[in-house]
Amino acid sequence: MAQLQTRWAVLGPGWISRDFVVGLRASEYGMLHAVGSSSAPRAAAFSAEHGAEASGTYDEILARDDVDAVYIGTVHTAHADLAIRSLEAGKAVLCEKPASPTLAEVERILEAAERTQRPFLEAFKTRFGPFAESLRELAAGGELGAPRRFEGAFGFDAGTREGRLFDPAVGGGAILDVGCYPLALAIDLAAAAGQPIAPEYRAFEAELVSGVDGTASAELAFGDLTAGIATSVIENLSHTGVLRFADAEVVLPNVWGSRTESPSTLIVRRGTDERIVELPVVQPMAVEADALSLALAEGRLEVPEMPWAHTRAAARVLTDWRAAALAG
């Protein structure tokens, strides 16, 4: 196995990249080495703030031999171009979700990863840690049997109706920004339960604000597992999820965790019985960074917690859900 120590470059010095840098400090194998931006002065400022050794334009950073992996934290519409350029420059890529706004662009990214033999991981931090592992174990069957339904939402009120969230040109809207979270969890649960990960569409609904989906919902069927998911950037929604079984349910308080900690609690209810399960907390961005480091060191292109098949499945639904929303 190759050296695990990974020298990271951050591409796109925005707020989500700041979260990643915080997580990287808690990782076992990673270190921040460089920062790239479309604006060299912005890259230099971010680099100075966070202690990176190098900064520059995207091209300058990707040309460096001392960068092993990149984290892409730009607006959604820039993901595909930067991911492909990074892969072709020989870098492993951790790309913030969604991998890209359309399935066609996601396929281009994955083709480049296959062609260059470089690892690619869509950064769903909620796929990592003891909480996510416990959900997969529950969905796989056992004392509660097979899951029948998942319900989950991710929604917040952005306050302003301006900026990237409400700009169609950069992939604004709730579906791409946070609707991808309950969708990705539904896909993960379906896979663990042995159900198809390409769902049947039963209903899509949306409310448009400033030309983007301000709020949206979807009713999906993954074989025998149904899912009701919702999202918003104009309304605070409950972040308590539920996984239902034939004669039991698992309540998932704060199912998405926080910016720095994974969720820690499951509540198993069966009849009048209730059991609270407390799980270890991890820094999820640190864990996902280390997962890519391991893939790079071991010569793997994929990470098992978020395989390419799941990235494709999510991209297909996001593309169709968003198209339905924008069509009214």
Neighbours of 159 (CB within 10 A): 9
Ramachandran category for residue 117: left, alpha or beta (phi over 0 → left; psi -120 to 50 → alpha): left
Q: pLDDT (tens digit, 9 = 90+) per residue, 137-175?
A: 999 988 899 999 999 999 999 998 999 999 999 999 999
Selecting from 3.30.70.100, 3.40.50.720, 1.10.3720.10, 3.30.360.10, what CATH number does the domain 129-281 have? 3.30.360.10
> Going by C-beta distance under 8 Å and a sequence separation of 6 or more, which residues neighbour residue 240?
251, 252, 253, 254, 255
Above 60 in pLDDT, residue 1?
no
Q: pLDDT (tens digit, 9 = 90+) per residue, 256-282?
A: 999 999 999 999 999 999 999 999 999
Mean of pLDDT over the chain: 97
Ramachandran category for residue 257: left, alpha or beta (phi over 0 → left; psi -120 to 50 → alpha): left
Amino acid at 72: I
> Going by C-beta distance under 8 Å and a sequence separation of 6 or more, which residues neighbour residue 65?
none
Hey, is 199 helix, strand or coil? coil
Topology of domain 6-125 in CATH is Rossmann fold (3.40.50)
Q: What distance in Å separates the CA atoms of residue 98 and residue 319, rounded to the nearest whole number?
A: 11
- For residue 3, the model assigns a pLDDT of 66
Phi/psi for 231 (5° steps) reads -155, 155
Above 60 in pLDDT, residue 316?
yes
Confidence of residue 4 (pLDDT cuts 50, 70, 90): confident
What is the residue extent of each domain of the chain?
Answer: 6-125, 129-281
Q: What distance in Å separates the CA atoms of residue 99 and residue 121, rounded to the nearest whole number?
A: 9
pTM (global) more than 0.85? yes
Share of the chain above pLDDT 90, in %: 96
